[in-house]
Amino acid sequence: MAIFSRFVPDSLSSGPVRSRLRDRLTEAGGLGLWSLALCFAIALWSYDPRDPSANTSSAQPPANLLGRPGAYIADFMLQNFGIVDVLAIFCLLAWGWRLIRHHGLTSALLRFIALVCGLPVIAADIAAVPLLLPALHAPLWPTQAGPGGAVGLSVAHMSIQAATVFVGRGGPLVVWLLGLVLGGLLLLLALALSLSEWRGIGRGIRVLLRQPMVLAIWLRRVTGDRAQARDMPNTVPYPDMSQRVRPTASPASGVRHDTAEASPFQTPLADTGSRVMQADPDVSTGQPSMPGTGIMPVTDPKTAVAAVPKSMPAPVKKPETVVRPAALGSRKADGGKPAQVSLQTSWMHPPGMDEEITQPLLTGGSTPASDRLPWHEETEGQEAAPIIPSLPDDLPAAAKEPARPNLLSRFFSGTNRAAEEPATGGPDYAPATPVAPTEDAYTPPPQPEWQFPPLSLLKPPPSAEATKPTEELLHANATQLVTVLSEYGVQGEIVAYHAGPVVTLYELQPAPGIRAARVIGLADDVARSLSVLSVRIATVPGRNVIGIEVPNTRRETVYFSELLMDPQWAHSRARLNLALGKDIAGESVYSDLAAMPHLLIAGTTGSGKSVGVNSMILSLLYRLSPEQCRLILIDPKILELSIYEGIPHLMTPVVTEPAKAVAALKWAVREMDRRYRAMAHLQVRNIASYNERVAEARARGEIVTRRVQTGYDPETGKPTFEEQQLALDSLPYLVIVVDEMADLMIVAGKEIEALLQRLAQKARAAGIHLILATQRPSVDVITGTIKANFPTRISFQVISKFDSRTILGEQGAEQLLGRGDMLFMQAGGRITRVHGPFVDDNEVEAVVAFLRTQGEPIYDDDVISPQEEDSSGKPFAAPAGGGEEDGLFAQAVEVVAREGKASTSFIQRHLSIGYNRAAKIIEQMEKEGLVSEANHVGRREVLMRRPTEDE
Ligand SMILES: Nc1ncnc2c1ncn2[C@@H]1O[C@H](COP(=O)(O)OP(=O)(O)OP(=O)(O)O)[C@@H](O)[C@H]1O
């Protein structure tokens, strides 16, 4: 290699010496590359996510075979590139091979660049597989980013998003195939192998592939020989098995005892010590221990103790205790769980949240029944969790800690960290939700033809970073807080502190006689003393402490995708579940709009209101098909919600004119009344029961009719009735989102107020829900009437205490940090601080593009057309509804004129239309003077001329 000749001194420049030296240096270079590849391989093989690294802070000595540097290197490689690191190792081996064989490494720089460019491409292709085919995910992969690593995942997400937006639904697959070709070519270029070397590799692979067959033939021959030997007595005597002691377990008693049973094929063992115990089945489960993982299933203290090397001190025998690992995602606060962090952690089950829940809207296909319970009911599932006897407390730490399995054994043996956790003697609750998210859980089957947007359209959360304040800082802040408060005459002590993603909560226990209001009033002074932007101080409901929320120096962003990956989201039975964000403890917060039943949002400009509204709309789009939920988006600001234009969920194009918005609200009131009537006919009390009843009737082929009075018999004077068939269409939920309410209030304050009041009071049962947002939480916008009818409210950061009081009834929202930081007040007044998720426009665009590919919206022109009374002035105006309605009206006129009869039921029968439309048509005829008013017996005269035979 030319590179090495530079290092050769001139004195050694004589031909043969120089050439030999160059050869040796080249070989050394090749060996160096091989050594590097070996180091990488060892570091990766013995990777353990618990080792100290740039992502994990741990006081434990690293388990990596290459120590701390190995742990750091392996973590960096796996976190960023995943399994693709193996290709880099192959490249190093190939380069080394060429150098050692003196084949040279031409264009070394080009090969290196090809490798550097090829790795992210291949990593992205690997990361994209589970995004495109959720069934092919790798839940046991030890890093959060998955087998493609963080780099691969980011590139995959960006490419899929771009491909969906620019190409459409098939785009991601095309990009994936292109990536595969490009990655393959770059890898070929990087490997730098000649054709003959590739042939050699091919031959090697063929030989390797033949090995299993060769082995099988050899084994058959050997076992055949043994069988022959067994058939021939006294040829080769087996050791006397009756002398061999093999401990086994009695499944019933769980007690170990010795037995003389042994398989004649069992390998004779030199002693029956710990090796025998490792090879034995687990006494409690009957399952074998996990060979290769190094994890010994601990069954009872005696077994565990026996497994401990003899040099360790013998433990004191203790009665066996039993711990149950909590169900994943459980929030039940129990003795083992540290104090809850939220000021409002008592919010576990908001009133009315689960009323009327009949079946989950969203369940994963293979989710066990217990998993489908809503999160606040998961305690039952917990009961069913397997019982694992705990280790005695005084067992040496080394015996308690399970051996750390290496990367591949962990991946293939079906064990993961979550499964190992209970054995480490950690807290007996599952702290987070380490279950790898599966997109299966997000695609419920009610509308098989409808595809829910994949999670890959959203930005993934970055890999975990240590952003929380250190223990020392928290302690120092707590001490400083006590000092600052005592300077203002408030005595007390900080009894606990909890760091969350955005703020840290310090719990102050005030001295007797200190009023909470006095401490709350010191918020600004405390913020100044701690040199932070703002501090929120509030009482903790149900506890004798005052919560002081201090912003963290580094703030974590909550990603929308995180909230949808949380199993709570998939398991929730809420029908209109909204992903609101994370509470100050970092727990995901969701709330059911159906239970709220309407939501009022306020916040100053730039506080994160629009992003919040977007995340709410996306929550609905990720769970409900257009047949389950329709939207009316009212956006007087024009730009905020127009991004959703054209999605099939829309009832009408995004409404931007205040006059049309008023019409839409009026339509919503009419629709509410219509739904009430439909529910009354089926004798049900809410939309969920109505849809169930309709589904049942449809399934049974039932015809549901109602009896309506059509008039009076002219002879007897008695009322006449007829049976009318009811249309069995299920009703979708209807969510009306108003992005800036103040604009509407300016145009038609009183009218809007009255409409909102009517909707707010009655619309819940009819499945109509409102989300109203405003920048101006002043009393002229959020009037007393609106406040009284919207008990569920969210306040993002506001400018003043007064605004905070207007929206929440108490101060505190002015001390929020902006950018999605909010106070969520549920019906009943309990307030929770929530950090809203961040959704950027690209994500929304990608989801919208995906939904648009599935169909056009079916708009209802009635929604924004003026009401009947408005159009009544027009002479001979046909009923609103466009061409089809006009045609119907003309047909009806013709039938009435021909038959000389005019009644709603008559038109219904002849035109096969519903009662409402027929009634509208007959009213229209009356207005146009074609038929008379109904007389005292409900009959109408036909005023138009009958067509003659000739006509
Ligand atoms: N949850 C969040 N996390 C991080 N940043 C956020 C979050 N929400 C909003 N932001 C940031 O705050 C900026 C303003 O947000 P947004 O546009 O939603 O405010 P707004 O209250 O709707 O303002 P306006 O009323 O003027 O439209 C965004 O551009 C974004 O950068």
What confidence tens digit (pLDDT) does each residue in 311-342 have?
A: 333 333 433 333 333 333 333 333 333 333 23
Supply the residue whose CA is at minimum distance from atom 3 of ligand 1. 838
Supply the residue whose CA is at minimum distance from atom 31 of ligand 1. 819
Interatomic CA distance for residues 289 and 284, integer angstroms: 11
Task: Determine the pLDDT at residue 857.
Answer: 87
Task: Determine the pLDDT at residue 27.
Answer: 86
The ligand 1 site (C-beta within 6 Å) comprises 557, 603, 605-611, 775, 819-820, 836-838
Share of the chain above pLDDT 90, in %: 14
Task: Determine the pLDDT at residue 923.
Answer: 85
Task: Determine the pLDDT at residue 837.
Answer: 94
Please say whether the beta carbons of 646 and 850 come within 8 A.
Answer: no
Supply the residue whose CA is at minimum distance from atom 22 of ligand 1. 610
Supply the residue whose CA is at minimum distance from atom 11 of ligand 1. 819
Going from the Cα of 186 to the center of ligand 1, the distance in angstroms, rounded, reads: 41
Annotated binding residue 705: no
CATH number 3.30.980.40 given to 471-551 = yes
In this structure, of 18-32, 650-664, 824-838, 903-917, the range with the lowest mean pLDDT score is 903-917
Mean pLDDT computed over 457-474: 76
**DSSP class of 330:** -
Cβ neighbourhood burial of 810 (10 Å; 0-12, 13-18, 19+): middle
> Best-predicted range by mean pLDDT among 363-377, 397-411, 417-431?
397-411
Q: Which atom of ligand 1 is nearest to the CA of 581?
A: 1
Task: Determine the pLDDT at residue 351.
Answer: 29
Annotated binding residue 606: yes
Domain 471-551 and domain 866-927 have a common topology: no
In this structure, of 419-423, 541-545, 646-650, 777-781, the range with the lowest mean pLDDT score is 419-423
Task: Determine the pLDDT at residue 618.
Answer: 95
Give per-residue pLDDT as tens, 491-535: 888 998 888 888 999 999 988 888 888 888 888 888 888 888 889
Annotated binding residue 609: yes
Task: Determine the pLDDT at residue 847.
Answer: 93
Going from the Cα of 606 to the center of ligand 1, the distance in angstroms, rounded, reads: 5
Q: Residue 631: pLDDT above 80?
A: yes
Supply the residue whose CA is at minimum distance from atom 25 of ligand 1. 605
Q: Which of 607, 772, 841, 844 to mutate to test ligand 1, by most ligand atoms within 8 A of the CB atom?
A: 607
Supply the residue whose CA is at minimum distance from atom 15 of ligand 1. 608
Q: Residue 845: pLDDT above 90?
A: yes
Of residues 274 and 556, more confidence is placed in: 556
Task: Determine the pLDDT at residue 139.
Answer: 63
Pairing of strands 831-835, 577-583: antiparallel
Q: Which residues contact 166 (CB under 8 A, 6 or more apart)?
A: none
Of residues 737 and 695, more confidence is placed in: 737
Task: Determine the pLDDT at residue 564.
Answer: 92
**DSSP class of 599:** E
Q: What is the architecture of the domain spanning 866-927?
A: Orthogonal Bundle (1.10)
Mean pLDDT computed over 136-149: 72
Task: Determine the pLDDT at residue 396.
Answer: 38
Of residues 122 and 718, more confidence is placed in: 122
Of residues 355 and 473, more confidence is placed in: 473
Mean pLDDT computed over 594-604: 91
Give per-residue pLDDT as tens, 23-56: 888 888 888 988 999 998 888 888 887 777 776 6
Going from the Cα of 28 to the center of ligand 1, the distance in angstroms, rounded, reads: 58
Q: Residue 612: pLDDT above 90?
A: yes
Q: Residue 121: pLDDT above 60?
A: yes
Interatomic CA distance for residues 494 and 476, integer angstroms: 11
Share of the chain above pLDDT 70, in %: 69
Half-sphere exposure of 711 (CA within 13 A, CB side): 18
Per the DSSP assignment, residues forming a β-bridge with 633 are 737
| Residue 364 Cα distances to 442, 454, 575, 808, angstroms | 7, 14, 15, 37
Per the DSSP assignment, residues forming a β-bridge with 735 are 631, 769
Angle 483-472-514 (CA atoms, 0-180°, nearest 5)?
30
Q: Which atom of ligand 1 is nearest to the CA of 640?
A: 27
User: Nearest 10 degrees: CA dihedral of 556, 557, 561, 564?
Assistant: 70
Amino acid at position 186, single letter:
L
Task: Determine the pLDDT at residue 823.
Answer: 94
Task: Determine the pLDDT at residue 921.
Answer: 87
Supply the residue whose CA is at minimum distance from atom 5 of ligand 1. 819
Q: Which atom of ligand 1 is nearest to the CA of 608?
A: 18
Annotated binding residue 531: no
Q: Residue 368: pLDDT above 50?
A: no
Task: Determine the pLDDT at residue 57.
Answer: 65
Instruction: Write down the domain spans for the chain.
Output: 2-201, 202-237, 471-551, 866-927
Going from the Cα of 448 to the center of ligand 1, the distance in angstroms, rounded, reads: 36
Task: Report the mean per-residue pLDDT for the chain.
Answer: 72
pLDDT-derived band at 146 (thresholds 50, 70, 90) equals: confident
CA-closest candidate to residue 64, choices 80, 75, 54: 75
Task: Determine the pLDDT at residue 144.
Answer: 66
Q: Which atom of ligand 1 is nearest to the CA of 775?
A: 25
Token couple for 20: 């030999």
Long-range CB contacts (within 8 A, 24+) of 364-368 = 364/438, 364/440, 364/441, 364/570, 365/440, 365/445, 366/440, 367/441, 367/570, 367/571
Supply the residue whose CA is at minimum distance from atom 12 of ligand 1. 819
Q: Which of 562, 578, 611, 842 to mutate to test ligand 1, by most ligand atoms within 8 A of the CB atom?
A: 611
Cβ neighbours around 248 below 10 Å, total: 15
Q: Which atom of ligand 1 is nearest to the CA of 821?
A: 1
Q: Which residue has the tokens 């009316």?
A: 632
Instruction: Cite the beta strand spans of 207-282 per DSSP E.
Output: 246-249, 256-259
Going from the Cα of 820 to the center of ligand 1, the distance in angstroms, rounded, reads: 6
Task: Determine the pLDDT at residue 682.
Answer: 82
Instruction: Specify the 3-state DSSP secondary structure of 900.
Output: coil
Mean pLDDT computed over 631-655: 91
Supply the residue whose CA is at minimum distance from atom 24 of ligand 1. 605
Task: Determine the pLDDT at residue 345.
Answer: 27
User: Nearest 10 degrees: CA dihedral of 136, 139, 145, 147?
Assistant: -60
Mean pLDDT computed over 424-430: 32
Task: Determine the pLDDT at residue 147.
Answer: 82
Supply the residue whose CA is at minimum distance from atom 6 of ligand 1. 819
**DSSP class of 136:** G
Give per-residue pLDDT as tens, 847-897: 999 999 888 888 888 888 765 544 433 333 344 444 556 678 888 888 888
Of residues 362 and 576, more confidence is placed in: 576
Q: Residue 751: pLDDT above 90?
A: no
Of residues 898 and 587, more confidence is placed in: 587
Going from the Cα of 89 to the center of ligand 1, the distance in angstroms, rounded, reads: 45
Q: Which atom of ligand 1 is nearest to the CA of 637?
A: 27
Task: Determine the pLDDT at residue 948.
Answer: 53
Going from the Cα of 451 to the center of ligand 1, the distance in angstroms, rounded, reads: 29
Annotated binding residue 263: no
Task: Determine the pLDDT at residue 773.
Answer: 92
Going from the Cα of 150 to the center of ligand 1, the distance in angstroms, rounded, reads: 26
Task: Determine the pLDDT at residue 5.
Answer: 53
Mean pLDDT computed over 111-135: 83
Going from the Cα of 839 to the center of ligand 1, the distance in angstroms, rounded, reads: 9
Give per-residue pLDDT as tens, 271-313: 333 333 333 333 333 333 333 333 333 333 333 333 333 333 3
**DSSP class of 149:** H
Going from the Cα of 615 to the center of ligand 1, the distance in angstroms, rounded, reads: 11
Mean pLDDT computed over 581-599: 90
Going from the Cα of 749 to the center of ligand 1, the distance in angstroms, rounded, reads: 27
Before 597, cis peptide (omega within 30)? yes
Mean pLDDT computed over 387-394: 34
Mean pLDDT computed over 90-99: 85
